[in-house]
């Protein structure tokens, strides 16, 4: 008879199994915005269609735009039809899923609207069986976060309605502050009303399949972990590139810039997953503890050496996808003398035993040749060139690449002999792609993250300490750039891979950016 005492215990080991959440009501503040139409409702619809949502799930939209339940349902039905290309299938949305959608006109500072919300939630508990479980999603500009949180507290909606039997959670969209001081103040306000365990800070990058698979890749395969360290890895590159410019977000981007918009959150989160130590279990506390340790180990860049380890750029006019595009300063709601960065490259070091002397190169930008997010681990070169005269002098190092978007997958570059009677060596690629291997489209990040929040699984969400550590690292860089103004700002032609100074940043170490 098998010894069942050594069989895995999913609950003990923190394995995330497929479960259906308990019935609940989801309240979306800022429900008239693009995020609700483009991401949230389509994600909920897919989950609903795949029978992964509880019966009686109710969605309440709150926004300043006047609307009725019927007009809001019609608006969201149109959004599902347009963004998911479902055709007549969206008729079912109106008849079934749409029946659980409601709307309240709310300017976010009117206490009467929250009283109305409380009455509606109580009615949904009775009529649709939502059991007092509430999920509040703040899809508003960050300036409204404190206002909404305080009103939820004053109305008594922040605490579980039936202690021990119901739950209340809140999702905050990034940015989580715009500096260390503002992030600390936001955390103080939120945790004065909600317990930290109730707070889910969402970063949609962490919900992408390849990002989640990075943890599996590292810790479920015995062949990789032994060489995931300074002895075998030469350096790591993390790239997040976008073809688009700032579009209609000029006023936001003037306040934020690339580092606040991408590096402080998305890219540093990816770095922490690449570099973290094995967690004791695949559960929220253990995983987030290890991620925070990595961020704490990143060597701060001194104020007087910011320009030695960073490059900032701004796109000039050029061509992207064969179309001529304007320079950043000509975009709507952008200053004609703006020094805001639309590109950034950083060299970071992690001061611990695993990663000592292994540089991490980060780059992200707008108006680059294509949209791609990729993590590249370059291994050290062979210690002795055995194949002299066979192309061995130019043997390229092995590179392991994890493609986050688009075409999610993993590739490994290694050297092989060309067919023939002579010894000729060329690099080749070993490829794995999700779509080809599993024959299914992976869920969107918001599908994964919304479901996890309903289940109370915070593994893929940011914790308050990690957010503050990331700001502590970025603040000196941003402050120095602000002091310098346009001095040191490098321009790059739209449709290219960034300014020449970014190439110099990595090439002075004898390395090159990996082709994306």
Q: pLDDT tens, 117-152?
A: 999 999 999 999 999 999 999 999 888 999 999 999
Whether the per-residue pLDDT at 391 is higher than 60: the answer is no
Nearest to 236 by CA among 53, 121, 110, 375: 375
CA pair distance 303, 330, nearest whole angstrom: 31
- Select the more confidently predicted residue: 368 or 250: 368
Closest CA to 263 of 515, 53, 481, 22: 481
Environment class of 276 (CB within 10 Å of its CB; exposed 0-12, middle 13-18, buried 19+): buried
Condensed to tens digits (0 to 9), the pLDDT of residues 12-40 reads 334 445 678 999 999 999 999 889 999 99
Q: Any residues with CB less than 8 A from the CB of 416 and at least 6 apart, and which? A: 425, 426, 427, 428
How far from 420 is each of 392, 414, 423, 427, 509, CA to CA, in Å? 16, 19, 8, 16, 37
**Residue at 5 is within a domain:** no
Q: How far apart are the first and last CA of the chain?
A: 53
Please report the pLDDT score of residue 10 as a whole number. Answer: 38
> What is residue 428's predicted lDDT score, i.e. its pLDDT?
82
Report if residue 103 sits inside a domain.
Answer: yes
What is the pLDDT, as a whole number, of residue 432? 87
Question: From CA 439, how far away is CA 339, in angstroms rounded?
Answer: 46
Residue ending a domain, among 147, 173, 199, is 173
Give the pLDDT band (50/70/90) at residue 8.
very low
Residue 295 maps to which CATH number?
3.30.360.10
Confidence at residue 208, expressed as pLDDT on a 0 to 100 scale:
85
Q: List all residues 6 or more positions away from 159 whose beta carbon is below 8 Å from its beta carbon.
A: 168
In a domain, 13, yes or no: no
Residue 192 is inside which H or E element, if any?
helix 180-193
Same structural domain for residues 220 and 147?
Answer: no
Domain count of the chain? Answer: 2
Residue 192 lies in a domain: no
Q: Are residues 290 and 394 in the same domain?
A: yes
What was the pLDDT predicted at 385? 72
Is 113 among the domain residues?
Answer: yes
- 157 and 219 belong to one structural domain: no
Active site residues: 266
pLDDT at residue 14, rounded to an integer? 44
pLDDT-derived band at 186 (thresholds 50, 70, 90) equals very high
Does residue 189 fall inside a structural domain? no
Measured in whole angstroms, the distance separating CA 516 from the mean position of its chain's CA atoms is 19
Residue 184: strand pairing partners: none
Q: Is residue 187 part of a domain?
A: no
pLDDT score recorded for residue 282: 87
Average pLDDT over residues 204-227: 88
pLDDT of residue 92: 63
- Res. 85: pLDDT tops 90: no
Question: Is the same domain home to 256 and 124?
Answer: no
The answer on pLDDT for 442 being more than 80 is no
pLDDT attached to residue 89: 58
Distance (Å, rounded) from C-alpha 241 to C-alpha 373? 6
Higher pLDDT, 267 or 87: 267
pTM of the model as a whole:
0.90
- Mean pLDDT rounded to a whole number for the chain: 89
Q: What does the pLDDT read at residue 86?
A: 63
Q: Determine the length of the chain.
A: 516
One domain, residues 371 and 501: yes
Do 359 and 480 lie in one domain? The reply is yes
- How does DSSP classify residue 293? H
pLDDT in tens, 40-77: 998 998 898 888 998 889 999 999 999 999 999 988 88
Tokens 């009529």 locate to 127
Instruction: Report the CATH number at residue 62.
Output: 3.40.50.720
Task: Give the per-residue pLDDT at 298.
Answer: 98
pLDDT, one tens digit per residue, over 256-305 is 999 999 999 999 999 999 999 999 988 999 999 999 999 999 999 999 99
Q: Give yes or no: residues 296 and 369 share one domain.
A: yes
Encode pLDDT of 152-164 as tens digits. Answer: 999 999 999 888 8
87 confidence band (pLDDT: 50, 70, 90): low
- The CA distance from 31 to 271, in Å, is 32
Residue 136 tokens, joined: 């509040």
Q: Is residue 335 part of a domain?
A: yes
Asked whether residue 300 falls in the same domain as residue 384, the answer is yes
Number of H helices, E strands in the chain: 17, 17
Range of the domain at 241: 207-507
CA dihedral 334, 503, 413, 226 (to 10 degrees): -90
Phi, psi (deg, nearest 5) at residue 373: -125, 125
Residue 351 scores a pLDDT above 90: yes
Average pLDDT over residues 164-177: 92
Percent of the chain with pLDDT over 90: 68
Q: List, for residues 476-499, the tens digit of each pLDDT value.
A: 999 999 999 999 999 999 999 999
Residue 375 confidence (pLDDT) above 90 = yes
pLDDT average, residue stretch 86-105: 75
Dihedral, 378, 383, 388, 393 alpha carbons, nearest 10: 30
Give yes or no for residue 200 having a pLDDT over 60. Answer: yes
Q: Are residues 158 and 107 in the same domain?
A: yes
């Amino acid at each position: 008879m098998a010894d069942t005492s050594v069989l895995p215990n999913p609950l003990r080991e923190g394995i995330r199994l497929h479960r259906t959440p308990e019935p609940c009501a989801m309240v979306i503040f800022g429900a008239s915005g693009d995020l609700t139409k483009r991401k949230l409702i389509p994600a909920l619809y897919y989950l609903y269609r795949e029978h992964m949502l509880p019966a009686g799930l109710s969605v309440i939209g709150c926004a300043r735009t006047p609307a009725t339940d019927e007009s809001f349902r019609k608006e969201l039905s149109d959004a599902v039809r347009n963004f998911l290309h479902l055709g007549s299938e969206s008729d079912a949305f109106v008849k079934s899923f749409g029946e659980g959608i409601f709307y309240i006109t709310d300017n976010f500072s009117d206490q009467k609207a929250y009283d109305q919300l409380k009455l509606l939630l109580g009615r949904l508990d009775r009529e649709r069986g939502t059991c007092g479980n509430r999920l509040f999603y703040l899809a508003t500009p960050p300036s409204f976060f404190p206002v909404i949180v305080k009103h939820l507290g004053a109305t008594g909606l922040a605490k579980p309605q039936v202690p021990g039997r119901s739950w209340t959670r809140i999702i905050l969209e990034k940015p989580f502050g715009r500096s260390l001081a503002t992030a600390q103040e936001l955390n103080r306000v939120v945790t004065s009303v909600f317990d930290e365990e109730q707070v889910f800070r969402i970063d949609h990058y962490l919900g992408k399949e390849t990002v989640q698979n990075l943890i599996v890749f590292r810790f479920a395969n015995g062949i990789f972990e032994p060489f995931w360290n300074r002895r075998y890895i030469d350096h790591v590159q993390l790239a997040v590139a976008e073809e688009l410019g700032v579009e209609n977000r000029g006023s936001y981007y003037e306040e934020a810039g690339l580092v606040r918009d991408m590096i402080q959150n998305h890219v540093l989160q990816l770095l922490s997953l690449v570099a973290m130590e094995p967690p004791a279990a695949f559960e929220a506390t253990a995983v987030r503890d290890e991620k925070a340790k990595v961020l704490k180990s990143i060597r701060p860049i001194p104020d007087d050496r910011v320009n030695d380890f960073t490059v900032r750029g701004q796109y000039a006019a050029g061509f992207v996808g064969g179309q001529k595009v304007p320079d950043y300063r000509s975009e709507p709601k952008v200053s004609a003398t703006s020094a805001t960065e639309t590109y950034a490259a950083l060299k970071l070091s992690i001061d611990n035993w695993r990663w000592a002397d292994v540089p991490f190169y980060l780059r992200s930008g707008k108006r680059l040749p294509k949209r791609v997010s990729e993590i590249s681990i370059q291994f050290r070169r062979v210690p002795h060139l055995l194949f002299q005269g066979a192309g061995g002098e130019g043997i390229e190092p092995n590179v392991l690449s994890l493609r986050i978007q688009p075409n999610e997958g993993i590739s490994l570059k290694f050297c092989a002999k060309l067919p023939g009677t002579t010894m000729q060596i060329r690099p080749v690629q070993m490829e794995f792609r999700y779509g080809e291997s599993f024959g299914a489209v992976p869920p969107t990040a918001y599908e994964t993250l919304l479901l996890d929040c309903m289940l109370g699984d915070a593994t893929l969400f940011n914790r308050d300490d990690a957010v503050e550590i990331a700001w502590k690292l970025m603040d000196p860089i941003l402050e120095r750039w602000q002091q310098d103004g346009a001095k040191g700002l490098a321009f790059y032609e739209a449709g290219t891979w960034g300014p020449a100074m970014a190439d110099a940043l990595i090439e002075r170490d004898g390395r090159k950016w990996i082709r994306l």
